[in-house]
Amino acid sequence: MLGVFSSSIMSPPDELVAAGSRTPSPKITAAALVNRFLQTNSSAVSMQIGDDAQLAYTHHNESPLHPRSFAVKDDIFCLFEGALDNLGSLKQQYGLSKSANEVVLMIEAYKALRDRAPYPPNHVVGHLEGNFAFIVFDKATSTLFVATDEKAKVPLYWGITADGWVAFADDADLLKGACGKSLASFPQGCFFSTALGELRSYENPKNKITAIPAKEEEIWGAKFMVEGPAVFAATK
């Protein structure tokens, strides 16, 4: 799956900008990235959302354990990859029909988050049990909401294209060819919301997330790490 968003939706993360500046490497534009995805993935589908967002996905080569799905409702678009172990209980919680799947659930969960402010977003993602990565885009409010499971069983990566768009994808090689070293693995157990304007851990929302420059030989330009609580050793 692939999502690209202009700087009017999401400002490129400073850490990824810095990573690309340290080691300049070839990049392509967001439009060229989407075209490359469509050309290299059979039966791929893409959605242009206004002038500042585009989503694309395919069922080609997907894992049977981590299927990809797409839905849109009330101008809320969602790409979901993976499976939730507690889907049944969550459908009851959100009042959904028995036929509802994960991607429909995520739209309803996002709507609850948006409409019941100040409902903490980490509560929404923290209730999800299973392996997943998702991208939610609310066209009406230009809000982007992205998250991965706590063990990163479904990979997700993000980077910056040549024209400054932020791209998310489950294929590292795809983004490597488009974003150069302005690329990183999206940190496990974390979410990004443009409503908050920052990356946070939903397990430890108060813990700071820092980006560590990656080694030159690595594909990434940076690695995002959730800092743990300070530990003080007692001395006698």
Q: Is the pLDDT of residue 156 over 70?
A: yes
The pLDDT score that the predictor gives to residue 222 is 76
Mean pLDDT value of segment 52-69: 92
Confidence of residue 18 (pLDDT cuts 50, 70, 90): confident
In 3D space, the residue among 57, 66, 27 whose CA is nearest the CA of residue 155 turns out to be: 66
pTM higher than 0.85:
yes
Q: Is the pLDDT of residue 4 over 80?
A: yes
The pLDDT score that the predictor gives to residue 114 is 86
What is the CATH code for 1-224?
A: 3.60.20.10
Tell me the pLDDT of the chain averaged across its residues.
88
Q: Is the pLDDT of residue 124 over 90?
A: no
The pLDDT score that the predictor gives to residue 231 is 36
* Domain boundaries of the chain, sorted by first residue: 1-224
Confidence of residue 236 (pLDDT cuts 50, 70, 90): very low
d(CA 86, CA 67): 16
Cβ–Cβ < 8 Å for 191, 147 = yes
The secondary element (H helix, E strand) that includes residue 178 is helix 172-179
The DSSP symbol for 150 reads T
